[in-house]
Amino acid sequence: MSKYVMAIDQGTTGSTVVIVDEELGVRSKVNQEFAQIYPQPGWVEHDPEAIWSSVGQAVKQALDKAGIDGRDVAAIGITNQRETTVLWDRESGRPIHNAIVWQCRRTADICRVLKEKGVEDDVQRRTGLVLDPYFSGTKLKWILDEVPEARKRAEAGRLLFGTIDTFLVWRLTGGAAHVTDVSNASRTLLFNIEDLAWDPWLLELLDIPSKVLPEVRSNSEVYGCTKGLGFLPDGIPIAGMAGDQQAALFGQACFGKGQAKCTYGTGAFLMLNVGSSPVHSSGGLLATVGWKLGNQVTYALEGSVFIAGAAVQWLRDGLKIIESAPEIEALARSVPDSGGVVFVPALAGLGAPHWKADARGAITGLTRGTQRAHLARATLEGIALSVHDVLSLMEREAKTKLSGLRVDGGAAANNFLVQLQADLLGSTIVRPTVLETTALGAAMLAGLAVGVWSGLEDVQQRWREERSFEPDLPADQVQSLLDRWSAAIERL
């Protein structure tokens, strides 16, 4: 039996294909970018055909780079930008409109009207989400309302809706499978995360005909097989699916309650495994389905820090105090502390747990003795403190103690940042050998479905850490950092 698994990681700016071997080693990785479309301020679209083309190109290049044939692939896993929305014709397979991207804000008025109806609490109770243009449901409503004949065709059963996972599976199987998984479904504003089904009340609220919706399946099973493709042979099982953040949680082997992951990218994206029951947040976190394996469902709490790596980019591109992002670690280490400087990186407002949308970045504690090294150190401290705030809120709301944090993303390579994070949290942080954790999670889900790995324990044994970080900063110094941070937040 073939022991290679292919993961298609379909992201916002490009499609990445990763080939993973039986030992969870990455044999090849290829990224193919595609164009972003901005019809007007605040609107973001993708051409679904450009996405499809980028996937095909990345698949071919990844196979060539790995030196294997498509017939050597045991299964394909898919992970994706979760809320991006596509509607296409059932017969022709052609999209009727560009995909509306998760970043797009065009449905803000729809969300405002719904809030004015007083339904937000009911929506949150059913979905775990807040009423925001971020999610798929209002995007689908917009297409049905604004594209000529769309609603009529949808009600006649001639159109199909999907997030990008659904669109790719439909294309990969030659139109044989119209499916999604519970993690992507839980990001639509249409799915009841306790019933694990499309919710009739939500469908009526948003005026969505049920005929357009895909079948909801688990995260690790065979959904269909490749058929009629120019870049892969027929018959390869598509056997794993998960939204990108859930795939990263799974790819970090956070299989136990209390385990969490943080992806340090432009922002920081955190997810905590809360076990077999959803935890509904009163502090603005999102309750979501993590994954479903067989009949076992795992839920998660999700929170985001709007600015993380982007703060380092600002030091580089805006203030020009560093020439490249990796330089910040040595610069920060060149001083024993931040010299009393606190940088709150609220360059795009403050999210959980503070929720100050109008807040802007602030630097406090400047003196004549402040040097660029102090600002560099304060920037990394600001990122770590922001993450600490979200994880602390997660612990309180889930009523569970963090049992470990696993990190990935570009800034996770910064040893100073990760060590400081461990100090603030008072918890061990583990950085994996394979940092492509989103793709790895999709591959693991697919491989489990077809027997490449026998179960979670088998996967866990093959998962490798590159380094662990233990807290070692004295408690009084940790408290001093937290106190100065709280004072700076209060001033915003």
Q: Are 416 and 422 in contact (CB under 8 A)?
A: no
Instruction: Tell me which of 346 and 200 has the higher pLDDT.
Output: 200
| Mean pLDDT of the 39-66 span | 94
Radius of gyration of the chain (CA): 22
Q: Is the pLDDT of residue 352 over 90?
A: no
Name the band, by pLDDT with cuts 50, 70 and 90, for residue 72: very high
Residue 310's pLDDT is 87
Q: Is the pLDDT of residue 162 over 90?
A: yes
Residue 351's pLDDT is 78
Q: Is the pLDDT of residue 304 over 60?
A: yes
Residues 191 and 50: their CA atoms lie apart, in Å, by 28
Q: Is the pLDDT of residue 187 over 90?
A: yes
Q: Summarize pLDDT for 113-125 with one digit per residue, the tens.
A: 999 999 999 999 9
SS (H, E, C) 379-411: HHHHHHHHHHHHHHHHHHHHCCCCCEEEEECHH
Nearest by Cα to 269 from 444, 391, 419, 129:
391
Please tell me the class of the 253-492 domain: alpha beta
Does the domain at 4-245 match CATH 3.30.310.80? Answer given as: no
Q: Are 235 and 217 in contact (CB under 8 A)?
A: no
Q: Summarize pLDDT for 439-460 with one digit per residue, the tens.
A: 999 999 999 999 999 999 999 9
Q: Please tell me the pTM assigned to this model.
A: 0.91
Does the N-terminal peptide bond of residue 353 adopt cis geometry, omega within 30 degrees of 0? yes
Q: How far is CA 196 from CA 245, 324, 466, 492, in A?
A: 19, 46, 36, 40
Chain centroid, CA 399 distance in Å: 23
Spans of all domains in the chain: 4-245, 253-492
Residue 2's pLDDT is 64
Residues 425 and 160: their CA atoms lie apart, in Å, by 45
For residue 8, which phi and psi values (nearest 5 degrees)? Answer: -105, 115
Residues 133 and 111: their CA atoms lie apart, in Å, by 7
Sequence-distant (6+) residues with CB within 8 A of 370 are: 339, 341
Q: Are 415 and 329 in contact (CB under 8 A)?
A: yes
Residue 278's pLDDT is 94
Through-space distance between the first and last CA atoms of the chain, rounded to whole angstroms: 59
Q: Is the pLDDT of residue 272 over 70?
A: yes
Instruction: Tell me which of 167 and 2 has the higher pLDDT.
Output: 167
Domain pair 4-245 / 253-492, same fold: yes
Q: Summarize pLDDT for 10-23 with one digit per residue, the tens.
A: 988 889 999 999 99
Q: Is the pLDDT of residue 1 over 60?
A: no
Provide the phi-psi class of 93: left if phi over 0, else alpha when psi is between -120 and 50, else beta.
left
Q: Is the pLDDT of residue 161 over 80?
A: yes
Q: b/e per residue, 24-55, with b = 16+ CB within 10 A?
A: bebbbbbbbebeeeeeeeeebbbbbebbbebb
Q: Is the pLDDT of residue 348 over 80?
A: no
Q: Is 269 helix (H, G, I), strand (E, B) or coil?
A: strand
Residue 404's pLDDT is 86
Residues 32 and 233: their CA atoms lie apart, in Å, by 21
Over the chain, what is the mean pLDDT? 93
Q: Which residue has the tokens 């405002």?
A: 112
